[in-house]
Amino acid sequence: MKTGDRKKIEFALLVFAGMLGLGFLGARAEEKPTLVVHAFTLMPGVTWPYDMDEMQSAAITALQAKDGETFNVVPEAATDQAGVYVLDGEVKEWHKGNVAERFLLAAGTVAGRENAKIHYWLTDKNGKKVFDHTDTIRQVWLENGHEKSAGMLAKPFGDKVAERLKEANLEH
């Protein structure tokens, strides 16, 4: 093999290796941040009939469905991982609702529906609060599906948090 041919091959391999390296760096730069969703807590004195772990699972499912292109949504992550946001929250109020009122008086309004006031926030990997919000979530109108452990608020709970996090415009 001639010296010139060898140098061309070495140059081609060097260029190929560089392109591979840039490809890996590009892929790394495009990695999604991780959103760790903790189970919410209850404010003192608040009655809550549902399993918070089930609510956490519902929130993770909704966030993955609605924000999965933006975040990797998980219940826990390594503490040394870069690009991590942590979602925590608390239930401030819960109201059972009234079926008769919902069907006889309200006909689609918020009256009579089960609802809860939730406060939730995101912290970055340094523990700095980057988003803070309070919402009222309500049972979906005319939805009869009732999961025993998560109740009628599981879907609206996850959906509401997912909507608000899109509004947060987090950097990643």
22 and 42 housed in the same domain? no
Asked, for residue 47, whether it belongs to a domain, the answer is: yes
Determine the Cα–Cα distance for residues 162 and 48; give it in Å rounded to an integer: 22
pLDDT of amino acid 104: 56
Confidence class of residue 31 from pLDDT cuts 50, 70 and 90?
A: confident
For residue 20, give its domain range.
1-30
Residues 44 and 21 in one domain: no
Q: What is the largest CA-CA distance in the chain?
A: 92
Overall size of the chain counted in residues: 172
Q: What tens digit of pLDDT does each residue of 72-104 get?
A: 999 987 666 778 899 999 999 998 876 665 555
User: Are 45 and 22 within one domain?
Assistant: no
Q: Based on the domain organization, do 2 and 47 belong to the same domain?
A: no
d(CA 101, CA 103): 6
Token pair listed for 29: 């730069």
Q: Which residue has the higher pLDDT, 163 or 149?
A: 163
In this predicted structure, what is the pLDDT of residue 168? 77
Instruction: Determine, yes or no, domain membership for 172.
Output: no
